[in-house]
Amino acid sequence: MNSNKGRGLFGLLCTLAVVGLFGYFGYDTLQKSRLITDENGVTSQEGGIKLGLDLAGGVSITYQAKEADPSAEDMSDTQYKLQQRVETYSSEAEVYQEGNNRINIDIPGVSDADQILLELGKPGSLQFFDESFQVVLEGTDVASATPAIYKNPQTGLNSYEVSLTFTEEGGRKFADVTRANAGKHIAIVYDNVMYSNPIVEKEITGGQASITGMSTYEEADRLAATIRIGSLSLELEELRSNVVGAKLGQEAIFTSLKAGAIGFGLVCVFMIAVYLIPGLAASVALCLYVALMLILLAAFEVTLTLPGIAGIILSIGMAVDANVIIFTRIKEEIGLGKTVKSAIKTGFAKALSAIIDGNVTTLIAAAVLYWRGSGTVKGFATTLAIGIVLSMVTALFITRFILNCLFELGLQDKKFYGVRKEKTAVNFLSKRMICFAVSGVLIAGGIVGMFLNRSAIGTAFNYGLDFMGGTSTSVTFHEEMSMERISGEVVPVVESITNSADTQTQKVAGTNEVIIKTRTLNVEERQALDAALVEHFGVDESLITAESISGAVSEEMKRDAIVATIIATIFMLLYIWVRFKDIRFAASAVIALVHDVLIVVACYALAKWSMGSTAIACLLTIVGYSINATIVIFDRIRENLKLKGARADLAEVVNLSITQTFTRSLNSSLTTFIMVLVLFIMGVSSIREFSLPLMAGIICGTYSSVCLAGALWYVMSVKKPKLTNE
């Protein structure tokens, strides 16, 4: 065995050992993520990845306003502030209104309701008093309060304090108050109990202050929690708290994992069949990618829910896409007559810009969505960001290392890598007006569908429980019902009354109580549901209660999602403009992106798909997927423009570039589509609810990248003078 083969074998064995080691830890992480139910019916996790309320259950707490008839505005404001607060436990926590004076909080991944209540704080009235016992500040003037530890410079011991940040208006009021009360006390009173009475040393400006004098960190933490919860618009009191089970159940989770494994296996088979030795190298690297993804999700304590799974699917698609871009380049270089070794080196070098631009653009979107989004949006952004970074590392470094090892082992024949000859350019631009017309008709059809829906059902879309709210029915059965029995026996009875598939169920741990959430039911439907439950399961009708609940996605959260998407789009536009030095590339990419979103929205309207929180994740996934595919084509247009010079025929360049990247566009979309299709076929109804729009988005994203993006850039280029950002 020569030195090259020895080096290649050693490198390959080391890589397989690393993959095996991380694979073991990844599998162990997955095993620890399993749900364990004790003899009292309490479900918990040994460790691993934190699962969301839909996958693992958690704690459900109901608060009631002390005010008899609170205004809708105060209830909405309190709901939104509580949402911001409980996201410190999980970005997937849900807060929604129950009845006209109650607010319910569902926090996934935890099982100790008493501990949550202690940490969250007691909702009440917070006020700041001067020495004349006049109220000088309200709790609503405080934006945040956090415990802190600092070293006392005189004693060298740890001291504890609470750091306060006021709202803009509160900061101005606080400056006035401290200026007028320098040298005096200002008491912090919560629910008529004085928690702190610090002395004001001097006027405090800048909207920040600190309260010192606590003896332990726990004391500081409790005071901070008290101050935070005291900034609510309403005084609340705890009504009840329960540990609730997963919305989907163990069988649904197992089925989803099985579907994901099968889909991933099919992707690896496809890669090896199409790309041969490079496909084998990519499959090994992708195994490492999946293992690292599982480990990092646990390490960063990311709460995984269905929208988070959407982010993972997109990142796997992008990991495959990076490899497809590279392998297509290698085939082209071999077709030009280069040796395999030279083709590998050149292929990675030429693919680098497209991979970096595509992934960085999507990473920018993920960062903005995390920064400005909330709830589902933040969870989606977290999994997507982790996946993007991993996909670039595995594609650019791990795949390359494995490929070089296989080459040095003796797999050097061109037939193991594939040869791609230069193809005659297809005249895609000749069909551009037809494509523009088809897209216009589809978008217009969606608008018409929205108006028809508004006339028929009162809303533009078939909004689900997360948006519209509905009815929460609590039923106590004579025996404990497993989630599988609930899904297989109870849900069909419920849906026969509601005529809707949008049904959510949860068990209350340690009891026979099951919470059933449906669309809003009228009096007749509630009576019919009660009668059906009595008839089929023999439950005591007096133990059936029902309450109206609001959507978990509040108006403020919808606004946050829209604002985050708009800001992300602007940042992506700026990045593409800077990188391509031509605003027409940026404008074309954004128009194609908006087109994809509008088409999928049209599908929601025309097909009456249920639009809930998973719809937000679906649309965001499409944004990330679409922009990545478009950038690959634009990168090739940029390259061909440089090769052909100033006299290049733009139509010829665009057609050639789309032709050269067409196989990549098709194969990348197909691998991602396979993953989602298997989930759709094998998953439960809630899995299919977001798989179907994702499949539509993948098809639409491929279509817009191939048929619209390049055509839009061409139209702008021949109609207007060149606009550059030199």
Question: Residue ranges per domain, the chain?
Answer: 124-231, 250-444+555-719, 470-549
Could you give the residue ranges of the DSSP H alpha helices within 581-709?
583-607, 613-644, 650-682, 685-703
Question: Could you give the 3-state DSSP secondary structure of residue 72?
Answer: helix
Lowest mean pLDDT among 134-148, 262-276, 433-447: 134-148
How many angstroms separate the Cα of 690 from the Cα of each of 557, 625, 660? 20, 15, 32
Look at residues 102, 617, 622, 697 and name the one whose alpha carbon lies nearest to residue 375.
617
Overall average pLDDT of the 613-633 stretch: 78
Residues 6+ apart with CB under 8 A from 411: 277
**The dihedral sign for the CA sequence 557, 563, 564, 566:** positive
Residue 1: which pLDDT band, with cuts at 50, 70 and 90? low
DSSP string, 342-378: HHHHHHHHHHHHHHHHHHHHHHHHHHHHHHH--THHH
Q: What's the CA gap between 420 and 150, in Å, rounded? A: 64
Overall average pLDDT of the 99-123 stretch: 70
pLDDT for 175-233, tens place per residue? Answer: 888 888 888 888 877 667 777 788 888 888 888 877 777 778 877 877 777 676 666 67
One-letter amino acid of 411 = L
Q: Is pLDDT of 72 > 50?
A: yes
Residue 721: which pLDDT band, with cuts at 50, 70 and 90? very low
630-659 in b/e form (b: 16+ CB < 10 A) is bbbbbbbbbbbbeeeeeeeeebebbbbbbb
Percent of the chain with pLDDT over 70: 85
Q: Is pLDDT of 331 > 80?
A: yes
Q: Is pLDDT of 123 > 90?
A: no
Q: Is pLDDT of 338 > 70?
A: yes
By DSSP bridging, strand 610-611 and strand 462-463 are: parallel
Sheet with 236-244: list strands edge to edge: 236-244, 58-65, 102-108, 94-98, 544-549, 470-476, 513-518, 504-507
Overall average pLDDT of the 358-371 stretch: 82
Long-range CB contacts (< 8 A, 24+ apart) of 41-45?
41/480, 41/507, 41/509, 41/510, 41/511, 42/111, 42/243, 42/509, 42/510, 43/111, 43/243, 43/245, 43/246, 43/509, 44/111, 45/109
Overall average pLDDT of the 431-452 stretch: 93
One-letter amino acid of 235 = E
Q: What's the CA gap between 543 and 419, in Å, rounded? A: 71
CATH of domain 124-231: 3.30.1360.200
Q: Is pLDDT of 116 > 90?
A: no
- In terms of C-beta density within 10 A (0-12 exposed, 13-18 middle, 19 or more buried), how is residue 52 classed? buried
Q: Is pLDDT of 42 > 70?
A: no
* DSSP code, position 541: G
Overall average pLDDT of the 508-532 stretch: 84
Lowest mean pLDDT among 249-253, 408-412, 582-586, 628-632: 249-253
Q: What's the CA gap between 578 and 523, in Å, rounded? A: 59
Q: How many CA atoms lie within 13 A of 383 on its CB side?
A: 31
By DSSP bridging, strand 470-476 and strand 544-549 are: antiparallel
Q: What's the CA gap between 569 and 589, in Å, rounded? A: 10
pLDDT at 723: 44
Look at residues 287, 274, 283 and name the one whose alpha carbon lies nearest to residue 403.
283
Residue 45: which pLDDT band, with cuts at 50, 70 and 90? low
**Mean of the per-residue pLDDT values of the chain:** 81
pLDDT at 121: 55
Overall average pLDDT of the 658-678 stretch: 86
pLDDT for 462-514, tens place per residue? Answer: 887 777 778 888 888 888 887 778 777 888 888 888 887 677 787 776 778 88
Phi first, then psi: give them for residue 130, nearest 5 degrees.
Answer: -85, -175
pLDDT for 679-713, tens place per residue? Answer: 788 766 667 777 888 888 889 989 999 999 999 99
Q: Residue by residue, what is the 3-state secondary structure of 230-288?
A: CCCCCCEEEEEEEEECCCCCHHHHHHHHHHHHHHHHHHHHHHHHHHHHHHHHHHHHHHH
pLDDT for 240-264, tens place per residue? Answer: 777 666 666 556 666 777 777 888 8
Overall average pLDDT of the 348-361 stretch: 86
**The dihedral sign for the CA sequence 266, 270, 271, 276:** positive
Q: What's the CA gap between 413 and 419, in Å, rounded? A: 11
Torsional class of 538: left (φ above 0), alpha (ψ -120 to 50), beta (otherwise): left
Residues 6+ apart with CB under 8 A from 542: none
Sheet with 158-166: list strands edge to edge: 142-151, 158-166, 208-214
Q: Is pLDDT of 724 > 50?
A: no
pLDDT at 401: 92
Q: Residue by residue, what is the 3-state secondary structure of 129-185?
A: ECCCCCEEEEHHHEEEEEEEEEECCCCCCEEEEEEEEECHHHHHHHHHHHHHCCCCE
Which one of 29-33, 436-440, 551-555 scores highest in mean pLDDT?
Answer: 436-440
- And the tokens for 388? 């993007």
pLDDT at 507: 76
Q: What's the CA gap between 170 and 143, in Å, rounded? A: 8
Q: What's the CA gap between 621 and 642, in Å, rounded? A: 32
Q: What's the CA gap between 66 and 191, in Å, rounded? A: 12
Residue 22 Cα to chain centre, angstroms: 25
**Which H/E stretch holds residue 66?**
none
- In terms of C-beta density within 10 A (0-12 exposed, 13-18 middle, 19 or more buried), how is residue 110 classed? buried
User: Given this structure, which CATH class describes domain 470-549?
Assistant: alpha beta
Cβ–Cβ < 8 Å for 283, 266: no
Q: What's the CA gap between 343 and 329, in Å, rounded? A: 8
